[in-house]
Structure 1
Amino acid sequence: MDFNSLPYSLEFVAGSGCILTLEERTALQTSLVIVKTNYKFQRILFWGKILGLQHDYFVAQGRGEDEMTDRKSLYSLNCVDWLLLPSVTDAMVEEVSKAAQGRFKGNPSFVYEHKVSQQEGKEQEKVFSVTEEKRLAVTVHHIDEEASVVPRGAFIQSLRGLVQTNRSFGGLSESEARRLENFMHFRKPKTLQKKPIPVKAEWAPAIDFLDVLSEDIPKGSWSLQFECARRVCVLRSLLWLGLTFYHVPMTPQHGYIYVGLGMKNLDLPFML
């Protein structure tokens, strides 16, 4: 969620336990202005908080001209000092999946190790090791890929392929906000091109360039409710417990935040 509206936005997601102390809010509102200036971001968002055993990780995300591809994630342990997270690679994802287990420690330099026995003529042992900082980067990447949400029409794609905020977006109507197909994943589309031509013919190419939540597998991985005296639409991810999205119908106000353990709910298919 945009840090400019952070105090206002947090009130809408407080019912999910997404809260910050007064000290944390004050520090964020000051430090993120400095981060935005130093890194020359066009926008900066407070992404959320991953809970650790020793310390919690506060995560922010800066965006440039292209909101989808030109973005960088940063983390802090005190809401004041911020460090860039490393770029995620396929090799890093594999290392994290092999080595990192259990809760986050809250120590970026902590090293996870996992030994795998191999037998090729003679017994060998391969060791996978990865720092918690890399694990944090991969976790943020996975959550963005699988649970980041925007309302239909909140972003537009230009003829050059640039994805930018839609300044004319006035919000979904209340009836539109009650349907999951009007909310989209804010990532590069994965299933869009598989749609039949008659379906594509009804789209508006400038705004229908993202995958919709209603087609997520498994079905039922999102909870949609109206809260705050039925004024606010709230979406909660059951795949990444702690991810909460809000949208105020008939206004451009929307955003999401993650506050949780940073662990995927792998039992979801068996719970539905």
Structure 2
Amino acid sequence: MDSSMLSDSLELVAGSGIILSVEQRAALQTSLVLLKKNYKFHRVLFWGKILGIKRDYFIAQGRGENEMQDKKNLYCFNCMDWFLLPLATDSMIEEVTKAAKSRFIGDPSAMENEPCNSSSESDCSWFQTTVTEESRLAVMIHQIDEEVSVVPRGAIVRNPLDLIQINRSFGGLSYSEARRLDNFLHFSKAKNPKKTVLEVGVVNQTIDFPDVLMDDIPKGSWSLPLECASNVWVLRSQLWPGLTLFHVPMAPQYRYVYIGDGKKDLDLPFML
């Protein structure tokens, strides 16, 4: 959610259970503006909230000239004092995947060890991987952005300099378009590029470069767009429960936000 539209955006999604207190809203509106100025971001978004056992993490995302590539994530506990998260490297992702199994606590310095199946204590101490909760947080945000961040078709555009930017002329999907998953795209680098000449010929390369949600595997990873109060259309991820996109048809209002415990539903392919 863009910091400049935070209050209006939260009002639109309140019917879906995404609610922040008055104090949290006021603090975020002030601190996100300062965050944009201090870090010289082009935009700052309220990315979401990770529910911890002792404390919750509030997440902000700063974006640069290239909306898809120039991203930095920050966290805080009081909606005011922000801390920069490290970039999720390949080695960090591998370590976190091995070690992180439990819920977030709410302590960035907390350590989590990879489970050891050996009966020898010396073997476990030699092979075990240890990661901090801060590293887990960075990796989880990266994975959610890569796998389920979503925008309406036409909301982002690739310019002649190959920069991914907000489409200022986007006026929203029509009501009929908003009912179909093929009008919602991943906000990440395409993993399934168009293969045939026919497919390439019928798409607009300036807006259709990301993957389409309807092609996701397993099928059924997304709820069908659901109309809520105030003509807000809501789309929810089943793979990462807590990721929600809202869009107002015939208007340039759209945002995705994540509020959940940071757990991916690994059983989803067996349930569909």
**1:188 aligned partner:** 189
- What is the correspondence of 1:189-268 to structure 2 with a 5 Å cutoff? 189-193=190-194, 195-223=195-223, 224-228=225-229, 231-268=231-268
**Deviation digits for residues 49-71 of structure 1 (CA, Å, limit 9, x no counterpart):** 00001100000000111101011
Give how far 1:117 is off: 5.9
Is the 1:117–1:123 contact (alpha carbons within 8 Å) kept by the matching residues of 2? no
TM-score normalised per structure 2:
0.95
Is the 2:15–2:229 contact (alpha carbons within 8 Å) kept by the matching residues of 1? no
Give how far 1:227 is off: 1.0
> Percent same amino acid at aligned positions?
59
In the alignment, is residue 33 of structure 1 matched against residue 44 of structure 2?
no
CA distance in 2, matches of 1:267, 1:69: 30
Is the 2:2–2:46 contact (alpha carbons within 8 Å) kept by the matching residues of 1? yes
Greater percentage in strand: 1
**1:135 aligned partner:** 136
CA distance in 2, matches of 1:199, 1:111: 48
In the alignment, is residue 158 of structure 1 matched against residue 177 of structure 2?
no
Give how far 1:20 is off: 0.6
Give how far 1:157 is off: 0.3
In structure 2, give the amino acid aligned to 1:260. Answer: G
Give me the CA root mean square deviation: 1.6
Give how far 1:6 is off: 1.3
Is the 1:108–1:133 contact (alpha carbons within 8 Å) kept by the matching residues of 2? yes
**2:82 aligned partner:** 82
CA distance in 2, matches of 1:32, 1:269: 38
Is the 1:18–1:258 contact (alpha carbons within 8 Å) kept by the matching residues of 2? no
Give how far 1:15 is off: 3.1
CA distance in 1, matches of 2:115, 2:102: 16
In structure 2, give the amino acid aligned to 1:78. Answer: N
TM-score normalised per structure 1:
0.95
**2:168 aligned partner:** 167
Give how far 1:14 is off: 2.2
CA distance in 1, matches of 2:239, 2:123: 39
Give how far 1:114 is off: 2.0
CA distance in 1, matches of 2:205, 2:221: 27
Residues paired across the two proteins, number = 268
**Deviation digits for residues 71-122 of structure 1 (CA, Å, limit 9, x no counterpart):** 1110001111001110011110111111111110000000111254679xx9
| Stretches of structure 1 lacking an aligned partner (at least 5 in a row) | none
In structure 2, give the amino acid aligned to 1:140. Answer: I
Secondary structure class of the residue paired with 1:198 = helix
